[in-house]
Chains A and B, each alone.
Chain A
């Protein structure tokens, strides 16, 4: 899978940006020019549930009047697009009421399967909407976004602040009372208890305190599936987030561990390495073979091993890897070997990389004569350097350089590719 073109508008630090990536894309520029925003935007395009993890208002570019975010890309010649906009109050309250009642009924029906009339469900939703006061509506609207795909299917996403918790409890009490009206007199006591439990479960469910998606759940599921198939991996912080999901029970994991142990030895990432293991790493010492806990080793070593683990997965073929600040914790010697590994992975496994960096070492190595002929030929065709900058702190402006232009900028014009 390869992104051929990408266009981002109004997303976080980016006012407007369009470019045609290659297989290895290095994104450089000063702080706050939108480098990480590019990675996040690509990730959001494929994993739109990521939208729930942010404060809604922080998605929009603060300098733009236009409160609509557009992220689109051509992937293997197929166009995909999402737009994110602020919802109307009606959209939010309707979606909130629908989801709240849906959750409540679901929780209630866990105890006893009751047929609840659709008209009554609508009635309950109306009760919710009527009982939302101005403050609740404002908070809800402020913390909501609508995400649409290219077919125009909308999903309303919102997060609920904890300050609204008391009001939510009162609201559930009103709904419970309405529901009680339905119950036959002889079952009232027992069923009322179930109703109250269902109300409790609803407001304490994680989806209500950390936000939830409503209305077009179909869209959500479909995009997750799409992202699963497309295999986009976003590595925000190598040391914190690389998930070394190693299991001794899986033979393929042992094989993979052996593979990265071989790479670590070949490239001499750590001296005297005898055996690599995520519990205990063995070293040859003058006093014989001694072990250290993996967690005890330096961040640079853990970073590179973690990254190699990720990159050596069988699943990365044809994937897109988003890598934020590749150089973190790493010595230039590590970086060089890692870059060679990245070039190799990109070439052999058809992996597209988007890498942000502040490191001149990273750029120097990609553009250096130290690469062998095969690596250099690949990089000459497949390297793109995107140099991000801003005009008046608000408008994104970027230079898109190929290999030769990058070499010229660095060697002939004597300019720092990272910006000044």
Chain B
């Protein structure tokens, strides 16, 4: 099954691409879409067009992973709610990579629950049922079953990974770091903290 990985920003994307390279995922299987890409912003329905191309059933479509950088925490959550339907339809598995920032895991979950519920509240209320799977010093892995409010049946599943604080905090990135330094710190973090072991069952 194809996988859509929704991240908050540019460095999450770099982190994810490097991580997948270390996990042995070929570069040509990964498509990266950034909301901050100016050219894309000028295109009509850019996000949907990319998604349509990615999910297209075509023997010449090489992409297995779509890494989406949503240009901010708010956008990532909103877009996640809309992508949820695709995950429920079995078009692609959905992985959400977010920062907890100053919130704890339960508070972060609460925001996601509210956002998903609000998106479809008027028409078809849905419920998210999170299950905490694993955690380490930097990261939390949760799986989430999706069900309709009036029914107990789970109609879909997605994976949530949360940084305890943020990618920047975990990697030790500071604002004054140069681009090159930031990339180095991200790579060092992947090597140092058994991050590959943590992500392997989620990504592959």
Interaction A to B:
yes
Contact check, A399 vs B119: say whether CB atoms are below 8 A apart.
Answer: yes
Whether a CB of chain A sits under 8 angstroms from the CB of B152 is no
Interchain CA distance A408-B119 in the complex, whole Å: 13
Chain A residues 398 to 420 lying within 8 A of chain B, measured CB to CB, are: 398-400, 408-410, 412-416, 419-420
Query: Cβ of A99 < 8 Å from any Cβ of B?
Result: no
Chain A residue at minimum C-beta to C-beta distance from B46: A414
Give the 7 A-B CB pairs with smallest separation, nearest first.
A416-B48, A416-B45, A398-B123, A400-B122, A414-B47, A414-B46, A397-B124
Query: How distant is A400 from chain B, measured CB to nearest CB, in Å?
Result: 4
A19 engages B123 (CB within 8 Å): yes
Query: Is B44 on the interface with A (CB-CB < 8 A)?
Result: yes
**B196 in contact (CB, < 8 A):** no
Q: Which of B40, B120, B126 has the most CB of A within 10 A?
A: B120
How far is B121's CA from A398's CA once the two chains are assembled, in angstroms? 9
Shortest Cβ distance from B91 into A: residue: A420
**Given A412-B75, A414-B48, A420-B51; A19-B82 close (CB under 8 Å):** no
Q: A414-B35, A414-B48, A415-B45 are in contact. Are A397 and B85 (CB under 8 A)?
A: yes
B79 touching A17, Cβ below 8 Å: no
Q: Are B86 and A420 in contact (CB under 8 A)?
A: yes
Q: Residues of A contacting B49 with CB < 8 Å? A: 416
Q: Which of A369-420 contact B (CB under 8 A)?
A: 386, 389-393, 395-400, 408-410, 412-416, 419-420
Q: Are A389 and B85 in contact (CB under 8 A)?
A: yes
**Interface 1/0 per residue, B73-96 and A, CB below 8 Å:** 001001100100110111000000
Beyond A390-B89, A391-B88, A420-B86, is A16–B124 a contact (Cβ under 8 Å)?
yes
Partner of A20, one of B88, B122, B126: B122
* Contact residue among B40, B52, B155 (Cβ-Cβ distance under 8 Å from A392): B155
Docked pose: A410 CA to B41 CA in angstroms: 10
A229 at the interface (CB under 8 A from B): no
Contact A395–B155 (Cβ < 8 Å): yes
Q: For A396, what are the chain B residues with a Cβ–Cβ distance below 8 Å? A: 123-124
> Could you write out 14 A-B pairs with CB less than 8 Å apart?
A17-B123, A18-B123, A391-B155, A391-B156, A397-B123, A397-B126, A398-B123, A399-B82, A408-B78, A409-B82, A413-B82, A414-B46, A415-B48, A420-B52
Interface residues in B51-87 by Cβ distance below 8 A to A read 51-52, 55, 75, 78-79, 82, 85-86
Q: Is the CB of A391 within 8 A of B89?
A: yes
- Find the A residue at minimum CB distance from B52: A420
CB distance from B144 to the nearest CB of A (A): 15
Query: How far, in whole Å, are A395 and B120 apart by their CA atoms in the complex?
Result: 13
Instruction: Decide yes or no whether B105 CB sits under 8 A from chain A.
Output: no
Interface SS of B by simple majority: helix
Asked whether A398 lies within 8 Å of B120 as measured between CB atoms, the reply is yes
Summed over the interface, the residue pairs from A and B with CB atoms below 8 Å come to a total of: 77
Count residues on chain A whose CB falls below 8 Å from chain B CBs.
Answer: 28
Shortest Cβ distance from residue B62 to the other chain A in the assembled complex, whole angstroms:
20
A420 touches B48 (CB 8 A): yes
B177 smallest CB distance to A (angstroms)? 28
Write the nearest CB–CB distance from A385 to chain B, whole angstroms. 12
Q: How far is the CA of A18 from the CA of B49 in the complex (A)?
A: 29
| Contact status A415-B35, CB under 8 Å | no
Q: A210-259: which have CB < 8 Å to B? A: none
- Per-position 1/0 for B134-173, Cβ under 8 A of A: 0000000000000010100001100000000000000000
Q: Is the CB of B48 within 8 A of A17?
A: no
State the CA gap A274–B86 with chains docked (Å): 53
CB pair B47 A413 closer than 8 Å: yes
Which residue, of B46, B79, B119, B123, has the highest number of chain A Cβ atoms within 10 A? B123
- What is the interface size of chain B, counting residues whose CB is below 8 A from a CB of the partner? 32
B149 to chain A, nearest CB (A): 11
Q: How far is the CA of A360 from the CA of B43 in the complex (A)?
A: 13
Specify which chain B residues have a CB less than 8 angstroms from the CB of A408 in the assembled complex. 78
What CA separation (Å) do A387 and B16 show in the bound complex? 32
Query: A294 CA to B62 CA in the complex, in Å?
Result: 53
Nearest CB of B to A415, in Å = 5
User: A360 contacts which chain B residues (CB < 8 A)?
Assistant: 44-45
Other-chain residue from B47, B119, B150, B155 in contact with A415 (beta carbon distance below 8 A): B47
Query: CB distance A399 to B120 under 8 Å?
Result: yes
- Give chain B residues whose Cβ lies under 8 Å from the Cβ of A398: 120, 123-124
Nearest B-chain residue to A20, judged by Cβ = B122
- Which B residues lie within 8 Å of A415 (CB)? 45, 47-48, 79, 82
Closest to B81 in A: A399
Give the Cβ gap from B113 to chain A, nearest Cβ, in Å.
17
Partner of B45, one of A16, A19, A399, A414: A414
Q: A408-B78, A414-B35, A415-B48 are in contact. List 12 more A-B contacts (CB 8 A).
A: A17-B123, A392-B90, A395-B124, A397-B126, A398-B120, A399-B82, A409-B82, A412-B75, A414-B43, A414-B45, A415-B79, A420-B52
Contact, CB under 8 Å: B119 / A395: no
Complex Cα spacing A412 to B75, Å: 8
User: If A395-B155, A415-B79, A420-B52 touch, does A19 touch B85 (CB 8 Å cutoff)?
Assistant: no
Q: For B155, list chain A residues within 8 Å (CB).
A: 391-392, 395
Which residues from chain A contact B150 at a C-beta distance below 8 Å? 16
CB distance from B93 to the nearest CB of A (A): 15
Q: Is the CB of A19 within 8 A of B122?
A: yes
CB of A362, distance to nearest CB on chain B (Å): 14
| Nearest CB on B from A74, distance (A) | 14
**Chain B residues whose CB sits within 8 angstroms of the CB of A391 once the complex forms:** 85, 88-89, 155-156
Given A413-B47, A413-B75, A414-B46, also A397-B122 (CB < 8 A): no
